[in-house]
Structure 1
């Protein structure tokens, strides 16, 4: 007489009748066990004043919405990124994907902005910004950008800069009046 498996007969027969169940349960556990990392989110506002003796000074603004209180993520309109994996050089980046069209509709917008504190010896810019669709600010050291990490959340913090002189790539003088952005869900793993 043949002996059956140690499982009760209903269970063993049920699994024998459906051999794909084990595979299905294994794949389901794998998919549910893998959590997806949320996209970076940014709230904030920045203003830049461009000096122009002939046409008059112009102020450019980047506002994530509602006076800098509305969060934005990467979507059809924005490209949002931030990296806090290296404590000595964290950075954040915001860009309107349709920056040329936005600049034509509203020429007083900062359409691209990058901020990141750098060591004094670094030649890399602390601030990079596209004002409208023409003036590109690439500051190398005159604007002090600071980053304050959030308590208890290694993927969050606040980037800020205040009242510093800067120039565009074409030599136009201007001033970053202020920039303050809170970031969450930033990358904390070093790039490979």
Structure 2
């Protein structure tokens, strides 16, 4: 079974962890824009320097850079039978771009998983992550700004995906295995209904 998915939710909701678990469960690659940006920043590439100039201020990388990166990644052979996109799309323009990219491959999304968590829990998770990982882009101000940007730009996308019948909303609070089980059960059910 193919599975072309987007995993959404605010920073700190566990998207990366759950995308990796889900990728293993479905045997498709997890494609994280955040990991690609961080690798470029660490490598000091021109794209990394550009990305860092935005992330250091708690802002998102421009759509044009992100869209090109996603288009190239989805054209790779390992994504032909499916993928899990983590960190994309983040706004309405990126939703339209993703639709166009997939239409070019004559495929469509199967589901959009949204992990939910309250803001206080997210702020605490991100504060701890910044301490453990030493992430320069995770200052208190930049964390708050990214959560605000999510609320303003990305959260409304879930309503659009819900209208398409693609949204699977999951409580992201709990132990990693517990949340992974919730996702697997809900997603297996949603994909089975779409296949009928």
Q: How does the TM-score come out when normalised to structure 2?
A: 0.28
Larger CA Rg, structure 1 vs 2: 1
Report which of the two has the higher share of helix. 2
For CA contacts below 8 A with separation 6 or more, give which structure has more relative contact order: 2
Report which of the two has the higher share of strand. 1
Q: How does the TM-score come out when normalised to structure 1?
A: 0.28
